[in-house]
Amino acid sequence: MKVYSKLIEGRSGEDTITDLREISPDIVFVFFSPEQAGSSVLKMLCESFKDIPVVGCSTAGEISDGGVSEGTLSVMAIHFENTPVRVAGQPIKNADECYEKARLLAQNLLSDDLSGVFVLAPGLNVNGSAIAKGLVSVLGSEVPVSGGLAGDKTNFSTTYTLLNGVVSENTLVAVGFYGPHIRIGTGSKGGWAPFGAVRRVTKSDGNILYELDDKPALDLYVQYLGDKAEQLPSSGLLYPFSILEDDQSETGLIRTILDVDYEKKSLTLAGDMPQGKFVRLMHADVDLLIEGAENAAQEAQLKDGDKKTRAAFLVSCVGRKIVMSDDVIEEVEAVQSFLGPETALSGFYSYGEICNSDITKTVELHNQTMTITVLFEVT
């Protein structure tokens, strides 16, 4: 296995393309700032690799070996010795279609030798929980699935995915890895601290939250945010919900706000908010967030991967980036330090993360986590 990762800044990517070709890649991943969606650099990358899959998405910040950046393209090319890859896509018009389109996507990738799936979804007008459930309904819980929802800085305006040279606002994209030689490790951890009262979800519909304790959800949320409520929905990234078990213990699932409806006094979340569940608000502690990133790396690291060339995809939530500000580099450095110099990094800040949960033992939509996917081959 050979891996080449590079951050492209500015308008020229010709040298990078030359370097990418040297490893004869089987697939190229590109995580790009939204303003790069129609750029000459991205078009040149896609044109240069018409014969292999090129996939990616827009971001709320790009992650590379050099840290965190904006306005750039983070590129990862991988050459596998013995691992076939296959890509597939499905258009999604709205959140109601997510479950069925994810099922169709999974069916396109399903095979007896499927070893894992990396998925990239639009960041808006989707239900990430439904995507996760649709994939599991076909693939089962044993196949590792990871990835995330595209970002758009903090604009919440337009996100993009990329599939074989085509940039789209509404395409669900996935990569399947096949055969016995690939090893895939995943990990997803948060690090947010709870605060405020525990409340019950008394009215919801999928990913739309209407009432908490029989009171309008938006009214209660605005009370907690105070002056920050004027910046909704972006300020909601700083105060996500934690979904609790019936005994009020943690499930490990966090939900971020994507939009608000002032007329209906509802909150639109990145994933399902099950009616009847208990929830509690969360706030950030920078040290805990960095520790969470390192814990995700520890969970994703596989013992038989020592000293092997590895590729690692880091998908971290835009809310973490906002909270940590200039210190956001520290969560990437923590992961980089743990995984070691043999591991090339690429990834993005997202509107939601998808990964197997070590608590629920199935694929879930996560919010406000650092989610890591480590790939390497064995003979």
172 and 245 part of one domain: no
CB 161 within 8 A of CB 243: no
Statement: residue 143 has pLDDT above 80: yes
Give the span between the Cα atoms of 116 and 184, in whole angstroms: 7
Domain ends where: 283, 310, 325?
283
pLDDT of residue 37: 96
Confidence band for 256, pLDDT divided at 50, 70 and 90: confident
Query: How many independent structural domains does the chain possess?
Result: 2
249 and 169 part of one domain: no
Give residue-wise pLDDT tens across range 200-224: 999 999 999 999 999 999 999 998 8
121 and 53 part of one domain: yes
301 and 359 part of one domain: yes
Domain ends where: 234, 265, 283?
283
336 and 354 part of one domain: yes
Confidence band for 132, pLDDT divided at 50, 70 and 90: very high
- 177-191 average pLDDT score: 95
Statement: residue 10 has pLDDT above 80: no
300 and 219 part of one domain: no
Domain ends where: 252, 283, 314?
283
Confidence band for 11, pLDDT divided at 50, 70 and 90: low
- 96-125 average pLDDT score: 97
Instruction: Identify the domain containing residue 206 by its residue range.
Output: 193-283
